[in-house]
Structure 1
Amino acid sequence: MKVVKFGGSSLASGEQFEKVARIVTGDPERRVVVVSAPGKRFEDDIKTTDLLITLANTIIAGDAYTEAFEDVLERFTAIVTYLGLDEAVLSDIRTKLTERIETYKHDEDRLMDALKSSGENENAKVMAAYLTKLGTKASYVSPDEAGMLVTDEPGNARILPEAYDHLYRLREREEVLVIPGFFGYSKENNIVTFPRGGSDITGSIVAAGLQASLYENFTDVDSVYSVNPNLVENPHEMKEITYREMRELAYSGFGVFHDEALLPVVEKKVPVCIKNTNHPEAPGTMIVDNRVPDKMPVLGIASDKGFLSINLTKYLMNRQVGFGRRLLEILETEGISFEHTPSGIDNMSVILREHQVQNGKEERILSRIRQELDVVDVSIERNLALVMVVGEGMARTVGVASKATAALGDAGVNIKMINQGSSETSMMFGVDDRDANLAVKSLYHAFFPND
Structure 2
Amino acid sequence: MKVAKFGGSSVASAEQFRKVAGIIQSDQQRRIIVVSAPGKRYKADTKVTDLLIRLAEAVMRGNEYDSLIEAVVERYADIARGLELQASEVIEQMKADLQQKIAAYHDDHLRLLDALKASGEDHNARLMAFYLRSLGMEARYVSPREAGIFVTDEPGNAQILQDSYEKLSKLKQCSNIVVIPGFFGYSLTGHIVTFPRGGSDITGSIVAAGAGADVYENFTDVDSIYCVNPSMVENPRQLREITYREMRELSYSGFSVFHDEALEPVYKAGIPVCVKNTNNPEAPGTWIVAKRDHRNVPVAGIASDTGFCSVNVSKYLMNREIGFGRKLLQILEDEGISYEHAPSGIDNMSVILRANQLQGEKEQRIMDRIQTELKVDEIHIEYGLALIMVVGEGMERAVGVAAKATAAFAQAQINIEMINQGSSEVSMMFGVKEEAVNKAVRALYDAYFAPVYAQKE
TM-score category of the 2 structures, normalised to the smaller one: over 0.9
How far off its partner does 1:113 sit? 1.0
How far off its partner does 1:387 sit? 0.5
How far off its partner does 1:58 sit? 1.4
Distance 1:355 1:262 in 2: 27
What residue number does 2:183 align with? 182
Distance 2:128 2:322 in 1: 58
Sequence identity percentage: 61
Q: Which amino acid is 1:56 matched to?
A: A
Q: Do the aligned residues in 1 keep the contact of 2:384 with 2:434 (CA within 8 Å)?
A: yes
What residue number does 1:112 align with? 113
Query: Residue 388 and residue 82 in structure 1: after superposition, are their counterparts in 2 closer, same or farther (change >3 A)?
Result: same
Q: Do the aligned residues in 2 keep the contact of 1:80 with 1:89 (CA within 8 Å)?
A: no
Alignment of 1:329-344 (within 5 A): 329-344=330-345
Q: Which amino acid is 2:120 matched to?
A: G
SS of the aligned residue for 1:117 comes to helix
Distance 2:3 2:364 in 1: 47
What residue number does 1:16 align with? 16
How far off its partner does 1:352 sit? 1.5
Distance 2:403 2:150 in 1: 48
Distance 2:419 2:28 in 1: 49
Structure 2: tracts of 5 or more residues without a match: none
Q: Which amino acid is 2:401 matched to?
A: V
How far off its partner does 1:294 sit? 2.6
What residue number does 2:27 align with? 27
Q: Do the aligned residues in 1 keep the contact of 2:90 with 2:127 (CA within 8 Å)?
A: yes
What residue number does 1:2 align with? 2
How far off its partner does 1:359 sit? 6.1
What residue number does 1:296 align with? 297
What residue number does 1:392 align with? 393
Q: Which amino acid is 2:443 matched to?
A: S
What residue number does 2:318 align with? 317
How far off its partner does 1:334 sit? 3.4
Distance 2:216 2:360 in 1: 40
What residue number does 2:413 align with? 412
What residue number does 2:151 align with? 150
Distance 2:362 2:126 in 1: 42
Distance 1:433 1:225 in 2: 22
Matched, 1:263 2:264: yes
Distance 2:386 2:196 in 1: 21
Alignment of 1:183-332 (within 5 A): 183-332=184-333
What residue number does 2:53 align with? 53
How far off its partner does 1:363 sit? 4.0
Distance 1:378 1:189 in 2: 49
Distance 1:35 1:439 in 2: 37
Alignment of 1:73-112 (within 5 A): 73-85=73-85, 86-112=87-113
Q: Which amino acid is 2:328 matched to?
A: L
Select between 301-310 and 235-244 the one with higher mean Cα deviation: 301-310
How far off its partner does 1:367 sit? 3.3
Select between 89-98 and 410-419 the one with higher mean Cα deviation: 410-419
Distance 2:359 2:204 in 1: 32
What residue number does 1:41 align with? 41
Distance 1:180 1:388 in 2: 33
Distance 1:148 1:373 in 2: 47
Q: Do the aligned residues in 1 keep the contact of 2:8 with 2:40 (CA within 8 Å)?
A: yes
Distance 1:447 1:94 in 2: 53
Q: Which amino acid is 1:212 matched to?
A: A
Q: Which amino acid is 1:39 matched to?
A: G
Distance 2:407 2:212 in 1: 45
TM-score scaled by length of structure 1: 0.97
* Residues 166-206 of structure 1, C-alpha deviations (whole Å, 9 max, x = no match): 21122222221111111111122221111111111111111
* Residues 295-330 of structure 1, C-alpha deviations (whole Å, 9 max, x = no match): 122121110112222211122111112222222223
How far off its partner does 1:360 sit? 4.8
Query: Residue 402 and residue 339 in structure 1: after superposition, are their counterparts in 2 closer, same or farther (change >3 A)?
Result: same
Select between 273-282 and 426-435 the one with higher mean Cα deviation: 426-435
SS of the aligned residue for 2:425 comes to coil
Query: Residue 321 and residue 224 in structure 1: after superposition, are their counterparts in 2 closer, same or farther (change >3 A)?
Result: same
Q: Do the aligned residues in 1 keep the contact of 2:172 with 2:212 (CA within 8 Å)?
A: no
How far off its partner does 1:358 sit? 4.1
* Residues 77-121 of structure 1, C-alpha deviations (whole Å, 9 max, x = no match): 111111222211101111111111111121111111111111111
Select between 215-224 and 161-170 the one with higher mean Cα deviation: 161-170
Matched, 1:164 2:144: no
Distance 1:195 1:170 in 2: 24
Select between 404-413 and 109-118 the one with higher mean Cα deviation: 404-413
Distance 1:65 1:396 in 2: 59
Select between 331-340 and 176-185 the one with higher mean Cα deviation: 331-340
Alignment length (residue pairs)? 451
Select between 35-44 and 59-68 the one with higher mean Cα deviation: 59-68
Distance 2:169 2:290 in 1: 22
Distance 1:58 1:70 in 2: 14
TM-score scaled by length of structure 2: 0.95
Query: Residue 161 and residue 356 in structure 1: after superposition, are their counterparts in 2 closer, same or farther (change >3 A)?
Result: farther
Q: Do the aligned residues in 1 keep the contact of 2:273 with 2:287 (CA within 8 Å)?
A: yes
How far off its partner does 1:389 sit? 0.8
How far off its partner does 1:361 sit? 4.1
SS of the aligned residue for 1:21 comes to helix
Query: Residue 359 and residue 142 in structure 1: after superposition, are their counterparts in 2 closer, same or farther (change >3 A)?
Result: farther
Structure 1: tracts of 5 or more residues without a match: none
SS of the aligned residue for 2:447 comes to helix
Distance 1:192 1:306 in 2: 29
* Residues 346-392 of structure 1, C-alpha deviations (whole Å, 9 max, x = no match): 11111112333446544443333223322222222222211111111
Q: Which amino acid is 1:400 matched to?
A: V
* Residues 253-304 of structure 1, C-alpha deviations (whole Å, 9 max, x = no match): 1111111111111111110000000111111100000112331221211101
SS of the aligned residue for 2:189 comes to coil
SS of the aligned residue for 2:450 comes to coil
Over aligned residue pairs, what C-alpha RMSD do you find?
A: 1.5
Q: Which amino acid is 1:60 matched to?
A: M
Select between 184-193 and 267-276 the one with higher mean Cα deviation: 184-193
Distance 2:356 2:190 in 1: 29
